[in-house]
Amino acid sequence: MRGAGIRLHEDGWSATAGHPTLLDAFAPCPAFVLAETARVDVPADALYRAIGELRAADVRSPLVRTLVRARGLPQTLRGHGSRPDLGETMLGERCAFLGERPGEEMVLGAAGRFWTAVPEWYEVTADSFREFAHPHSGTIAMGFSVTPSEGTGCRLTIETRITVTDPAARHAIALYWHAIRPAAWLTTRALLDTLAARAVALTGS
């Protein structure tokens, strides 16, 4: 896997030139964005299959798991249980499957007040996620996309978009985002590595 790059945005988002993505449909105007892209030397269908089979427990990065435990410690001491990091949130029980373009793109999402000491989550569907407007709340949409690259292999992009419902939520999430951004970046890198390894295993190469 090579050719990775990161894009971080904190002042809104506008879709790039070309046809809108499925992620654009669910999070067209995010306040905060993190995107990572990597080239993987496997067929696109194997990589997309790896995305569909991914579970949070598959992310074996020791550094990411250390960050998860470290962030959860204060809550554990207060008896509230552990607070999931961004990757665990999106791949665990809090997320909803929002939709896909088979073989090309898949989008997951969660909504609520996820920056508080004891996060509050709302049940969402694809339709309710688009219309989500609870005050002082926000949404997280995570898109996985696979696109052909020159020669053999393909490109995998993981993009996370956080959208807010009002100015008060934006202020709160801004503090949260600056605190967890390094961990979110490391989690995304770990997801890329995990998916690449799983896709290679599926092809037997």
Give CA–CA dist 1/142, Å, rounded.
Answer: 21
E strands in the chain: 2-9, 32-40, 96-101, 105-113, 120-122, 138-148, 154-164
| Among 177, 176, 179, 155, residue whose Cα is nearest residue 105 | 155
Which residues partner with 129 through β-bridges? none
For residue 129, the model assigns a pLDDT of 96
pLDDT of residue 72: 42
- End-to-end CA distance of the chain, in Å? 14
pLDDT (tens digit, 9 = 90+) per residue, 53-76? Answer: 876 666 666 555 554 444 443 343
- Burial (CB count <10 Å: 0-12, 13-18, 19+), residue 187: buried
- pLDDT number for residue 30: 95
Directed axis angle between helix 167-203 and helix 62-78, to 10°? 140
What is the model's pLDDT at position 188?
Answer: 87
Q: Please identify every stretch of the chain with a pLDDT value under 50, giving residue numbers as ranges.
A: 1-17, 67-85
- 144: which residues sit within 8 A by CB, 6+ positions away? 51, 105, 106, 107, 156, 157, 158, 195
pLDDT, position 48: 93
pLDDT at 26: 96
Angle at 55 between CA 89 and CA 96, to 5 degrees: 50
Helix %, strand %, coil % for the chain, to 5? 40, 30, 30
pLDDT recorded at residue 115: 86
What is the model's pLDDT at position 118? Answer: 81
- For residue 87, the model assigns a pLDDT of 53
* Cα–Cα distance, 47 to 44 (Å, whole number): 5
Q: Which amino acid type is present at position 106? A: M
